């Protein structure tokens, strides 16, 4: 693609696509299943090392398909190659494997998100009793699943859907989660993390709705040009990180420096 250059390789994709691997609840849910911290550490390291050859394998496969079918869009290259190149018996095995991988990732993500909403959001706010939490978690699974289905029906393809989800997720969650590991050293407070999630996530949503038209209205043409000159062509995806980081440290440090009332 003529639009794909060093900016995408060194800035955009490492931040927007790479950071979810550091803070994704679907990944942490697997880590928490480890027997002890040493096992979790070793398993995480081995899994990270395993991602490297798989990434090169997928990239190589994409380049080969681009060479074979240069006119196809990235969304249709794999299905087209599967129908044209794979033997009849192997097609079913590959399709089942792909569906299994999709279902495994989808159910882990739904369960993780539903558990977070049930235990960390609804229970503290509404005072949900323990015997009702399982029902509430199942309810959120249905709601989030329906919402994901509705969102997917409006998106044009898998890649655009992933980039949309990554932008909102990274903009709101990445920096507060990473900062919480060193919250005492960095002086991060829960209020700062909360505002980072709200403002970063809101900025990401505004940047993605209507291909950034809402963000353009807020910043104006001059502001958008300035942001593009500073943050690059994908400033709509990078700006939420900047807003989130500013809110995280700005609110946290202002609250910590405020004298306490006796």
The 3-class SS string of 24-48 reads CHHHHHHHCCCCCHHHHHHHHHHHH
149 and 220 in one domain?
A: no
| In-domain check, residue 135 | yes
Same domain, 150 and 194: no
Residue 137 belongs to some domain of the structure: yes
Dist CA 129 CA 112 (whole Å) = 20
The pLDDT value recorded for residue 160 is: 76
Q: Are residues 224 and 175 in the same domain?
A: yes
pLDDT at 262: 47
Q: Is there a domain that residue 177 lies in?
A: yes
Q: Is 143 in contact with 110 (CB distance < 8 Å)?
A: no
Domain boundary at 154, 171, 198, which? 154
Instruction: Please indicate, yes or no, whether residues 174 and 236 belong to a single structural domain of this protein.
Output: yes
Residue 11 in any domain: the answer is: no
> What confidence score (pLDDT) does residue 143 get?
93
The answer to whether the Cα torsion of 242, 245, 249, 255 is positive or negative is positive
Q: Are residues 117 and 187 in the same domain?
A: no
Specify whether the CB–CB gap between 69 and 77 falls below 8 A.
Answer: yes
Indicate whether 77 belongs to any domain. Answer: no
**171 in the same domain as 117:** no
Residues 115 and 175 in one domain: no
Token representation of residue 106:
């989808």
175 and 236, same structural domain?
Answer: yes
**Does 176 lie in the same domain as 143?**
no
**pLDDT digits over 143-192, tens only?**
999 988 887 777 767 777 788 888 888 888 899 999 988 988 999 998 89
Domain boundary (117, 132, 154) is at 154
Asked whether residue 120 is domain-assigned, the answer is yes
For residue 125, the enclosing domain spans: 86-154
Tell me whether residue 27 is in a domain. no
Full-model pTM: 0.77
Distant-in-sequence, close-in-space partners of 113: CB < 8 Å, separation ≥ 6: 25, 140, 144
pLDDT tens digits, residue range 123-134?
Answer: 888 888 888 888
Assigned domain for 75 exists: no
Residues 245 and 172 in one domain: yes
In whole angstroms, what is the distance from residue 27 CA to residue 185 CA?
25
pLDDT of residue 146: 92
Query: Do residues 238 and 170 share a domain?
Result: yes
Domain boundary residue among 138, 154, 170? 154
Token readout for 135 is 């029902």
**Which residues does the chain have with pLDDT short of 50?**
262
Same domain flag for 134 and 183: no
Number of domains present in the structure of the chain:
2
């Amino acid at each position: 693609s003529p639009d794909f250059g060093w900016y995408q390789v060194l800035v955009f994709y490492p931040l927007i696509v790479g950071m979810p691997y550091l803070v994704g609840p679907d990944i942490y849910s697997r880590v928490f299943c480890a027997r002890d911290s040493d096992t979790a550490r070793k398993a995480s390291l081995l899994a990270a090392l395993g991602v490297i050859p798989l990434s090169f394998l997928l990239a190589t496969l994409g380049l080969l398909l681009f060479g074979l079918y240069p006119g196809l869009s990235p969304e249709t290259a794999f299905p087209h190659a599967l129908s044209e190149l794979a033997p009849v018996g192997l097609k079913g095995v590959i399709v089942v494997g792909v569906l299994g991988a999709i279902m495994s990732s989808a159910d882990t993500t739904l369960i993780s998100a539903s558990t977070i909403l049930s235990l960390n959001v609804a229970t503290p706010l509404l005072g949900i009793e323990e015997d009702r939490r399982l029902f509430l978690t199942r309810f959120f699974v249905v709601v989030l699943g329906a919402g994901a289905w509705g969102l997917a029906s409006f998106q044009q393809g898998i890649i655009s859907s992933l980039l949309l989800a990554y932008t909102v997720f990274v903009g709101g969650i990445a920096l507060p989660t990473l900062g919480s590991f060193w919250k005492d050293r960095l002086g991060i407070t829960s209020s700062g993390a909360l505002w980072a999630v709200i403002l970063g996530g809101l900025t990401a949503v505004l940047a993605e709705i209507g291909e950034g038209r809402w963000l353009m209205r807020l910043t104006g043409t001059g502001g958008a040009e300035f942001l593009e000159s500073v943050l690059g062509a994908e400033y709509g995806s990078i700006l939420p990180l900047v807003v989130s980081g500013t809110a995280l440290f700005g609110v946290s440090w202002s609250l910590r420096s405020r004298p306490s009332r006796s």
